[in-house]
């Protein structure tokens, strides 16, 4: 079995150069992702492709994430974390420019797979680097800062797209330049790149073993992926069925993202002070379930719904942040890198399950199926955490 983290493996202080480099790099990648997603969809629509075909091409992103996650750690162990990340930045930039020159639609599928596979590896390794550079008593704060800055990067991408448009080579050139900038902080901090020596981990452990090693962390990100992706995909439909205009539904959806940005650092600070982060994960799950069950009762009042979704968005996003902090407190070395890969793998599964489950719920039970389906995800996770807390109490 993979080894638990030892006290002497914990960094004694925050390694700020490593953290700033990893956060700066992945934030620039977040801008690229936030800009490229609407850009590619708009271009395909202009070329006359149907929404279902655009959706099919976009779905390759989740498949690529699930496929590449198991091999991210072995690649980084061979090449080095910083070197692998720089290569992935280059691969993302090259594949993205390829969309501009690819006239045949079928070429967009391998290009999308390469682009999102490289971005997935960047996320896995950046989160591993941030975790290893943070002592346990500051990890929640650092990961809260990471989640906040990354969320701002995701939000900046669509805004930048609205400014430069989709015509010509300009949006591709700008996106490629931003991706290239992501390599600069990695080059600066390359000397502090964490190692992935085989003796620090369990080379013989299977990838799926890491999914089950810290289940409260990996299940947290699966539920977050399901809730976030499902809500963003189907809330506009839910709002429309309740009588909201597209603009009002979009504003309510933005409140979820705003709660994500504002509440991550406070909740991260709290997670550094609790005895067992699983308790806070349980609170987040219960808050997520309560929010979804309350939504039908306040949905007729825009202001109340906005406040509820703001709080709800912050707590469900904390499942990712605190789950990642909990993962980092349990493992070290190659085990932590492999578990980070399993973490992202589970996020991809959640992205796949969430929209389907919520869509089926809405088709079966009408608008109430939106809240009911989400509540089931949170209830099952709360049950898992409760059982783990009882069966495996935190050791002193």
- CATH number of the CATH domain containing 92: 1.20.1250.20
- Token pair in block for residue 240: 């429309």
pLDDT for residue 271 is more than 70: yes
Which residue has better confidence, 316 or 353? 316
392's tokens:
């495996």
| Residue 127 shares a structural domain with residue 224 | no
- 36 and 176, same domain (yes or no): yes
Q: Do 324 and 357 share a domain, yes or no?
A: yes
Domain encompassing residue 41: 13-195
- Are residues 211 and 162 part of one domain? no
**Average pLDDT of the residues of the chain:** 83
Q: List the single range of 159-163, 195-199, 287-291 with lowest mean pLDDT.
A: 195-199
- Residue 1: pLDDT over 80: no
Put residue 333 in one of left, alpha, beta given phi > 0 → left and psi -120 to 50 → alpha: left
The predicted pLDDT at position 2 comes to 40
| Cα distances (angstroms) measured from residue 14 to each of 146, 192, 356 | 14, 12, 41
Please count the structural domains in the chain: 2
Does 370 reside within a domain? Answer: yes
What does the pLDDT read at residue 222? Answer: 94
Look at residues 163, 195, 227 and tell me which one is the last residue of a structural domain: 195
- Please report, for residues 98, 151, 168, 227, the alpha-carbon distance to residue 158 in angstroms, rounded to integers and kept in the order given: 20, 12, 17, 21
* Domain end among 131, 162, 195: 195
**Are residues 52 and 173 both part of a single domain?**
yes
Residues 153, 34 contacting (CB under 8 angstroms): yes
* Same domain membership, residue 337 and residue 283: yes
Residue 54 lies in a domain: yes
**What is the reported pLDDT for 283?**
96
Please indicate, yes or no, if residue 73 is contained in any of the structural domains: yes
Distance CA 374, CA 361 (A): 9
Half-sphere exposure of 346 (CA within 13 A, CB side): 28
Task: Give Cα 164 to chain centroid, integer Å.
Answer: 26
Task: pLDDT band for 240, please (50, 70, 90 cuts).
Answer: confident
* Alpha helix (H) residue ranges in the chain: 16-46, 51-79, 81-101, 108-132, 139-164, 170-181, 183-188, 207-213, 215-241, 246-273, 277-298, 302-330, 333-365, 368-391
Claim to verify: residue 83 and residue 35 sit in the same structural domain? yes
Q: Is the per-residue pLDDT at 316 higher than 90?
A: yes
Closest CA to 255 of 317, 308, 298, 319: 308
Q: Which two tokens stand for residue 276?
A: 């067992």
Q: How far apart are CA 360 and CA 365, in angstroms?
A: 8
Q: What pLDDT is recorded for position 204?
A: 43
Q: Are residues 274 and 165 in the same domain?
A: no
- Residues 211-217 have a mean pLDDT of 87
Is residue 371 one of the residues assigned to a domain?
yes
Is the same domain home to 60 and 142?
yes
| 167 DSSP assignment | S
The average pLDDT across 53-76 equals 82
Structural domain includes residue 270: yes
Please give the backbone phi and psi of residue 70, each rounded to the nearest 5 degrees, phi first: -65, -20
The answer on 216 and 138 residing in a single domain is: no
Cβ neighbours of residue 211 closer than 8 Å, sequence gap 6 or more = 218, 342, 345, 346
The torsion of the CA quartet 294, 225, 255, 324, rounded to 10 degrees, works out to 100
Asked if 163 and 233 sit in the same domain, the reply is no
The DSSP string of 57-76 is HHHHHHHHHHHHHHHHHHHH
Q: Which residue has the higher pLDDT, 88 or 200?
A: 88
Does 84 fall in a domain? yes
Whether 310 is in a domain gets the answer yes
pLDDT at position 340: 80
Task: Check: CB of residue 118 under 8 Å from CB of residue 88.
Answer: yes
Same domain, 188 and 211: no
In a domain, 65, yes or no: yes
Nearest to 95 by CA among 114, 109, 108: 114
What average pLDDT does this structure show over 41-61?
Answer: 77
| Rounded Cα gap, residues 99 and 111, in angstroms | 7
Between CA 86 and CA 103 the distance in angstroms is: 28
Q: Which of 195, 221, 239 is the last residue of a domain?
A: 195
* Measured CA distances, 216 to 161, 325, 330, 331 (Å): 37, 11, 11, 14
């Amino acid at each position: 079995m993979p080894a638990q983290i030892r006290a002497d493996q914990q960094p004694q202080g925050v390694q700020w150069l490593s953290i700033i480099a990893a956060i700066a790099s992945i934030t620039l990648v977040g801008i690229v992702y936030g800009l490229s997603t609407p850009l590619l969809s708009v271009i395909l629509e202009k070329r006359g492709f149907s929404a279902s075909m655009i959706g099919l091409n976009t779905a390759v992103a989740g498949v690529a994430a699930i496929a590449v996650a198991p091999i991210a750690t072995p690649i980084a162990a061979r090449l080095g974390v910083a070197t692998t990340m720089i290569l992935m930045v280059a691969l993302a930039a090259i594949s993205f420019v390829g969309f501009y020159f690819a006239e045949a639609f079928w070429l967009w599928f391998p290009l999308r797979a390469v682009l999102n596979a490289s971005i997935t590896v960047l996320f896995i390794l950046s989160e591993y680097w941030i975790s290893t550079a943070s002592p346990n008593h500051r990890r929640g704060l650092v990961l809260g800062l990471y989640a906040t800055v990354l969320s701002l990067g995701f939000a900046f991408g669509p805004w930048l797209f609205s400014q430069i448009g989709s015509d010509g080579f300009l949006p591709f050139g700008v996106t490629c330049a931003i991706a290239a900038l992501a390599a600069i902080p990695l080059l600066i901090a390359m000397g502090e790149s964490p190692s992935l020596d085989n003796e620090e981990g369990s080379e013989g452990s299977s990838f799926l073993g890491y999914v089950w090693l810290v289940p409260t962390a990996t299940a947290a990100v699966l539920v977050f992926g399901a809730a976030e992706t499902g809500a963003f995909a189907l809330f506009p439909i839910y709002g429309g069925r309740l009588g909201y205009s597209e603009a009002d539904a979009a504003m309510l959806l933005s409140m979820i993202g705003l709660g994500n940005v504002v509440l991550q650092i406070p909740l991260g600070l709290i997670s550094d002070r609790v005895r067992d982060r699983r308790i806070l994960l349980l609170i987040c799950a219960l808050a997520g379930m309560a929010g979804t069950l309350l939504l039908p009762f306040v949905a007729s009042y825009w202001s109340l719904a906005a406040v509820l979704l703001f709080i709800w968005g912050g707590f469900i996003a904390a499942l990712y942040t605190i789950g990642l902090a909990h993962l980092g407190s349990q493992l070290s070395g190659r085990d932590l890198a492999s578990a980070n890969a399993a973490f992202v793998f589970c996020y991809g599964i959640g992205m796949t399950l969430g929209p389907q489950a919520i869509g089926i719920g809405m088709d079966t039970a009408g608008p109430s199926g939106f809240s009911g389906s989400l509540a089931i995800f949170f209830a099952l996770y709360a049950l898992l955490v409760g059982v783990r807390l009882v069966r495996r109490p935190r050791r002193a």
